[in-house]
Chain A
Amino acid sequence: MTCSKRVFLRTLAGAAVFAAFSAAAPAQQPPVRIGLLATLEGPFAAGGADGMRGAELAVRQRGGVVAGRRIEIIKASSNANPDVAVNATRKLVEQDKVDIMVGPLSGSEGIAVKEYSKTQPHVTFINGSSGAQATTLVNPSPNFFRFNTDGAQWMYGLGRAALEKGYKRVMVIAEDYAFPYSQVQGFMSEFCRLGGRVPVKAWVPLGGKDYSSVIARIPKDVDALLVVLGGADAVNFLNQYEAAGGDKPMIGGSITVSQDVLNYKGKRRDSLVGTLSAGPLADAYDAPEWKAFVADYQKNYPVSAGGYPSPSLFALVYYINMKAALDGLEAVKGDLSDGQRKYREALSKMVLKTPVGEVRLDENRQAIGTTFITEVVKDAQGNLFNRVLRKVDNVSQLLGMRKEEFKIGSRDEPSCP
């Protein structure tokens, strides 16, 4: 009796020890620390907040745990200045000791953070939503990954669509900095190759109010205008163009034909129907993955809690990059040993499933992805909205060109007057 009791007790103790060990095993796995940088100050503060929502959504979808390791997010903010972005990143990497870094938001920040990433080879950097071409084309960094397409890729396919509409000669009106340069390049590289002509390019200052001098320069013989202006500037331009009696159809950049433009009430409202534009997302896209993403976003971030009615570009792109970070972690079962070698291999080879189609990386660790060509149409109630005209898959950063002939877009590149 006593003997059997002792055996029983021993078994119990053994079981308890075993249970304790098996329970401790997952708990011993330290959490994965991910730094998250977006602009919560300055001109893109609203976009940065939505980017954070997108990134958080990717973590929430996994319940905050990947391969048994808890995900710990440490946030930082910048104000779209590259020096501030690097300071914030340095704090996350060197002070908070994050394993993976996701961010930043805007183009010149991205280039600066990429340069910084070279000094921190033990940390993997994944882009936020910055879209400068040079980030991955010039001096790429072996530990900087970008799962979103850049500003030129967003416009690829629009040139062909414009020619199919019969626009053979197009004038460019765009803001004078790197992002519109790349947008114009994305349009023109294909447009010029297929025989289109761009006789005049007008570069206007960012946030300009007076477009009369540009409007005066519009030649009589162009078929359409490629307008790459931010939403409010585009409305300004439309108003003044209408007042000047202009009647050329418009082609829009990725951030031009926004809700501001679609709500335009001027006389030319009806002429907006048929306006082409292109971008990495389309609100009216009807694939089930996109609809599920939008529904999930709306559930987690209702408008009453500060979310947008539909996820913004920043939310989508941050979501994609954070999802890539987590999917990669899943693929290696949370193994970040050996200077994260396995993890980076997994990221490089990954075919990422995103709400807007599949994304792969090229040899510079830059995304090859999908671009949507959209067209403005009028619904039964008379509201304007962007309809998906076409989906262009596998758009690469070199826009189908060979490496030797590719030059980064600038004021004068490409050119086909």
Chain B
Amino acid sequence: MSAAQWRGAMNAGAGRLARAGGAPARAAGVAVEGRGQARAWISGMVRPHHLVVLAFLFVYPFYASPFLTYQIGAQALALGLIALSLTLLGGYGGMVSLAQMTVAGIAGYMLAILGTSGEAGISLGWPWWLAALLGIGIATLAATLIGWLSARTEGIYTIMITIAIGVAFYYLCLQNYSVFNGFQGFQRVYAPTVLGIDFRDPVPFYFVALACALAGYFFVVYLLRTPFGIALQGVRDNARRMGALGFNVTAHRVAAYAVAGVIAAVGGILLTWYNGLIAPNSVGISALVNILIIAILGGMGHPVGPFLGAIVFVLLQTFAIDLIDRERFNLLIGLVFLGIVLFSPDGLLGLWARLREKLATLRPRAAFNRRRSQR
């Protein structure tokens, strides 16, 4: 048997494995069967509600106020992108990494250090695109290293090792003044003006964030249907069996960290531009945990989950203080989080799926009742 045949056989096996794991993997099996079906697959994947959501996303900034466009829309997209990288790792790779915000923070710090900021003594003042690209590159490298360090661990140990890395980076930023500018961090790290469009303005920035978020989303959706994505889900479900089938489990995991690193880094650049600053607290432990909260809130079963989670999270953070006494508004955020996790272990997506199931079971019964009453 040739290597290619082996791979094909294994991929089919992985598809079968993954199919047991979750709904998105069901479609994945289809993709493996042939490249010729790719077009049919794409047309089959786009459903009316996708177009409605897309249309809404495009029209949204023209109807919403600049505040809603920027603080709710753009921030949710940037945070959602970082959480998407965790969903890819956690939901499809079985590796819950708390260091995704650290990777995003590394990209943000590199953007500030290599590009321009209020700290002229430290920032090198390179063009924004170079700084952003190098930032993404360095952050991806860091993510690969983090993956290489933690890929051999499982479950709670992955969480421990990634949180340790995250906290170490936080203290490095806090204590180092020559490169990371310590406690103050970097102010005035602004999105550039290109072709006369100031990307600090809410609407242009929203569209940049939207473009990155859509690219990230479709990339992950595509990736999960590639042989690599299916093998990754196989690793998640039964790493030992995948190893026995000849897959290099560690390599798949490290590669997943690297890919997730790219996504997180892009999100980190966006978030830094959004805030206009990066400081140690942006990569502090509460920021790390926030990403986990967003991913879990939305649900790790589908790449759209983190974006839903981010919207709910940002709305709560912004408006909870209006709903409840000022000193207690974190209680509300906590209660909503608790409620969602308690009633739907799969986040908002799980709630939605259950609702649909309920409706589906109700409908035939209603029809049956109608028929009976007609009789």
Binding site for B on A (CB under 8 A): 40-41, 49, 52, 75-77, 79-83, 86-87, 90-91, 94-95, 107-108, 111-112, 115-116, 119, 132, 134, 138-139, 176-178, 205-206, 411
Q: Is the CB of B222 closer than 8 A to any CB of chain A?
A: no
Give the number of chain B interface residues (Cβ < 8 Å). 32
Residue B187, interface by CB 8 Å = yes
Tell me if B184 and A108 are in contact (CB < 8 A): yes
**For residue B317, which residues in chain A have a CB less than 8 angstroms away from its CB?**
87
Contacts of B188 in A (CB 8 A): 115, 139
**In chain B, residues 44-95, which have Cβ atoms closer than 8 Å to a Cβ of chain A?**
65-68, 70-71, 75
Contacts of A206 in B (CB 8 A): 183
A75-B321 CB under 8 A given contacts A41-B330, A176-B175: yes
Given contacts A87-B71, A115-B187, contact A82 B329 (CB under 8 A): no
Q: Of A82, A90, A111, A411, which contacts B281 at CB under 8 A?
A: A82
Contacts A41-B330, A94-B67 given; indicate if A108 touches B185 (C-beta within 8 A).
yes
22 A-B pairs with C-beta separation under 8 A: A75-B321, A77-B329, A81-B279, A81-B282, A82-B185, A82-B277, A83-B277, A86-B276, A87-B75, A90-B71, A91-B318, A94-B71, A95-B65, A108-B183, A108-B185, A111-B187, A115-B277, A138-B118, A139-B118, A177-B183, A206-B183, A411-B177
* CB-contact partner of B277 in A40, A76, A112, A138, under 8 A: A112
Question: Are the C-beta atoms of A40 and B326 separated by less than 8 Å?
Answer: yes
- Top 3 A-B pairs, shortest CB-CB distance: A94-B67, A177-B183, A81-B281
Q: Mark B158-182, 1 if CB is under 8 A from A, else 0.
A: 0000000000000000010100001
**Docked-complex contact B326 and A75, CB < 8 angstroms:** yes
Question: Do residues B327 and A49 form an inter-chain contact, with CB atoms below 8 A?
Answer: yes
Q: Does B5 contact A (CB under 8 A)?
A: no
**Is B286 positioned at the interface, with any CB of A under 8 Å from its CB?**
yes
The distance in angstroms between the C-alpha atoms of A87 and B290, with both chains bound, is 15
- The prevalent SS among residues of B at the interface is helix
Q: Is B226 close to A, CB under 8 A?
A: no
Q: Could you tell me if A115 and B276 are in contact, using CB atoms closer than 8 angstroms?
A: yes
**Which of A83, A91, A205 interacts with B282 by CB under 8 Å?**
A83
Closest to B326 in A: A75
Query: Which residue in chain B gives the minimum CB-CB distance to A81?
Result: B281
Q: Would A176 and B182 count as touching, CB distance under 8 A?
A: yes
Contact present for A91 and B279 (CB under 8 Å) = no
Docked Cα-Cα span, A205 to B172, in Å, equals 12
Asked if residues A40 and B279 are in contact (CB atoms below 8 Å), the reply is: no
A112→B65 CA distance, assembly (Å): 23
Could you say which residues of chain A place their CB within 8 Å of the CB of B326? 40, 52, 75, 77
Number of residue pairs A-B, CB distance < 8 angstroms:
83
Complex: how many Å from CA A91 to CA B68? 9
Given contacts A81-B281, A86-B275, A86-B276, contact A94 B182 (CB under 8 A): no
Contacts of A80 in B (CB 8 A): 281
Name the one of B71, B175, B184 contacting A91, with C-beta atoms under 8 angstroms: B71
Contact A95 B275 (CB under 8 A): no
The proximity string for B residues 195-218 relative to A, scoring 1 for CB distances below 8 Å and 0 otherwise, is: 000001000000000000000000
Partner of B67, one of A75, A86, A95, A411: A95
B276 to chain A, nearest CB (A): 6
Nearest B residue to A36, CB-CB: B326
* Cα–Cα, bound, A72→B5 (Å): 73
Residues of chain A lying within 8 A (CB to CB) of residue B66 = 94
Chain B residue numbers with a CB within 8 Å of A111 are 184, 187
**List of B residues within 8 angstroms of A176 by Cβ:** 175, 182
Whether B184 contacts A178 by the Cβ 8 Å rule is: yes
Q: Write the chain B residue with the least CB distance to A108.
A: B184
On whether the beta carbons of A178 and B71 are closer than 8 Å, the reply is: no
- Report the minimal beta-carbon distance from A350 to chain B, rounded to whole angstroms: 28
CA distance A178 to B184 in the complex (A): 7
CA distance in complex: A83, B182 (Å): 16
B79 to A: closest C-beta gap in Å? 11
CB of B279 within 8 A of CB of A83, answer yes
Asked whether, in the complex, the Cβ of A94 is within 8 Å of the Cβ of B318, the reply is no
B42 CB to nearest chain A CB (Å) = 38
Closest residue on chain B to residue A74 by CB atoms = B322
Closest to B66 in A: A94
Chain B residues within 8 Å of A116, by CB: 276
B71 and A82 contacting across the interface, CB-CB below 8 Å: no
Q: Are A82 and B182 also in contact (CB < 8 A) when A87-B317, A87-B318 are?
A: no
- Which B residues are CB-close (under 8 A) to A94? 65-67, 71
| Separation of A321 and B284 alpha carbons in the complex (Å) | 30
Q: Which of B175, B184, B284 has the most CB of A within 10 A?
A: B184
Contact status A108-B182, CB under 8 Å: no
Least Cβ distance of B201 to chain A in Å? 9
Contact with A along B259-275 (1 / 0, CB 8 A): 00000000000000001
- Hey, which chain B residues are within 8 Å of A81, CB to CB? 279, 281-282, 284
How many angstroms between the C-alpha atoms of A123 and B284 in the bound complex?
A: 31
**A155: min CB distance to chain B, Å:** 19
* Complexed CA–CA distance, A9 and B279 (Å): 72
**Which of B118, B188, B321, B329 neighbours the largest number of chain A CB atoms within 10 Å of its CB?**
B321
Give the chain A neighbours of B282 by CB distance below 8 A. Answer: 81, 83
Report chain A residues within 8 Å CB of B286: 79
Q: Which residue of B lies closest to A96 (CB)?
A: B322
CA distance A134 to B321 in the complex (A): 30
- Nearest residue (CB) in A for B71 is A90
> What CA separation (Å) do A349 and B70 show in the bound complex?
36
A141 CB to nearest B CB, Å: 12
A142 to chain B, nearest CB (A): 16
A205 to B276, CA, bound (A): 27
Do B185 and A205 touch (CB < 8 A)? Answer: no
Indicate the member of A41, A81, A177 with the most B CB atoms within 10 Å: A81
Quick one: given A77-B329, A176-B175, are A112 and B281 in contact (CB under 8 Å)? no
The A-contacting residues of B in range 305-334, CB under 8 angstroms, are 317-318, 321, 326-327, 329-330
- Nearest to A111 among chain B residues (CB) is B187
**Chain B residues whose C-beta falls within 8 Å of the C-beta of A115 in the assembled complex:** 118, 187-188, 276-277
Give the nearest-CB partner of A38 in chain B: B326
